[in-house]
Structure 1
Amino acid sequence: MDFYYLPGSAPCRSVLLTAKNLGIELNKKLLNLMAGEHLTPEFLKINPQHTIPTLVDDGFALWESRAILVYLVEKYGKDDALFPKCPKKQAVVNQRLYFDMGTLYKSLADYYYPQIFAKQPADPELYKKIEVAFDFLNTFLEGNNYVAGDQLTVADLAILASVSTFEVLKFDFSKYANVARWYENAKKIPGWDENWEGCLEFKKFLD
């Protein structure tokens, strides 16, 4: 199973975390975006949107990290623990995945990426959206050990990749007590060490 990725990318790291928790070995293919390797004719044939992460499983190509997470657990999961079959529980997991994509990770990208990659000044209004996102996440975790209820799911893995990126960006989320508690526990999840190594790779863009 070929996996095109960059270790510093939070969406890529969420796939690595999921594969680790499923016991899946990925054939990792590092893609140098700065060198335009995602724009080669060979890669465009695999993924016309030329994005990472991209997974190729026996000729089947899929991109968008959260779609990949669900595909992996539905095809290779030994049970439904990471993605419950119960429609209501599954709906909550999906909601959290979409929350990560459209609110939490989006707030990170909108605020930090222009500063890192385009050397633009910080926008205080965009910073407020990060705080709003963490308020929501803190609420989701009230009385829960995991972001989608009482068990570890792919939603935790996706959000862990995002929140750990906030840590290397030095966003202080200690005032969000439920998030801080969940995050400390999440560091025990299989694959954490590789995830953190990827965070440190991302941190190099800040130097």
Structure 2
Amino acid sequence: MAPKLYTTALSPAGHSVLLTAEAINLKMEVIMIDPSKGEHLSPEFLKINPEHTFPTLDDNGFIIRESHVINTYLVQKYSKDDYLYPQNLQKRTLIDQCLYLDCGVIQPKMMAILEPIIKHSVKIIPKDKSDNLIQILSTLETTLQGKKYLTGNNVTIADLNIIATISACSVLVPVAANRFPNITEWITRMQSLPYYEQANGINFDIFVNFVKNKLMRS
């Protein structure tokens, strides 16, 4: 049976799993959950994931509840090669470093802005929180210096995870090309991947419209 992915169009982390699945040509059963209808709190979903978070992977009864772990798992189990997550220790360590940066730093800084908008109808992004995102963008700008992708000249799951997060961050803090030329070129490079639009572009548009509507409502 194909793995089941429980996610929502409003989850950048979920977008990264869709990107990874497309990259390795893995067919999954994607089950879209609507949090606005309380579907994430249904007894059926809570049985699978008591944390009621997205994305959640059910691989024939084996449950994983964190996007970065899901992506490394899917590549190691289902990919026909290891270019997205190489066996080479040093290359893999560089990828892990980026994954930890995403889950430990970038995503929390993004959610510090996003959660008040979604849950508490906050209309203004505090300067200190936007400055935090700009600071991490500066770090990524330096990381990409002289490279096509985050860990070198080949795309890896580090890129697939972080492009989903940075796409969402760009809605909150614009990524100016004159200030972040390396990031801008990297985003364009990622968007040119043959599977990008299907996995991230469509869902990203839904995410953008949702956040903008939240910010515009009186």
**TM-score normalized by structure 2?**
0.90
Is the Cα contact below 8 Å between 1:17 and 1:190 reproduced in 2? Answer: no
Q: CA RMSD in A?
A: 1.4
The answer to whether residue 169 in structure 2 is matched with residue 166 in structure 1 is: yes
Conserved? CA contact 1:62–1:68, under 8 Å: yes
1:90 to 76, 81, 92: 92
Corresponding residue for residue 201 of structure 1: 206
State the number of aligned residues: 207
Q: Distance in 2 between matches of 1:48 and 1:112?
A: 22
Q: 2:35 aligns with which of 28, 33, 36?
A: 33
Cα 1:129–1:170 change in 2 (3 A) is closer
Deviating beyond 4 angstroms after TM superposition, the runs of 4 or more aligned structure 1 residues are none
Aligned mates of 2:114, 2:35 — CA distance in 1: 18
Q: Say whether 1:18 aligns with 2:23.
A: no
State the one-letter code of the partner of 2:208. K
Q: Give me the TM-score of the superposition, normalised by structure 1.
A: 0.94
Measured in 2, the distance between the counterparts of 1:140 and 1:87 equals: 19
Q: 2:116 aligns with which of 114, 117, 120?
A: 114
Q: Secondary structure at the match of 2:37?
A: coil
| Equivalent runs, 1:1-150 vs 2, <5 Å | 1-120=3-122, 121-150=124-153
The amino acid of 1:187's aligned partner reads: Q
The C-alpha deviation readout for 1:74-100, integer Å capped at 9, x for no partner, is 001111100011111111101101111
State the Cα distance separating 1:162 from its structure 2 match: 1.3
Percent identity for Structure 1 against Structure 2: 34
CA distance in 2, matches of 1:96, 1:51: 22
2:157 maps to 1:154: yes
Structure 1: runs of 5 or more not aligned:
none
Query: Which deviates more from structure 2 when the two are superposed, residues 31-40 or residues 14-23?
Result: 31-40
- State the distance in 1 between where 2:8 and 2:74 align: 19
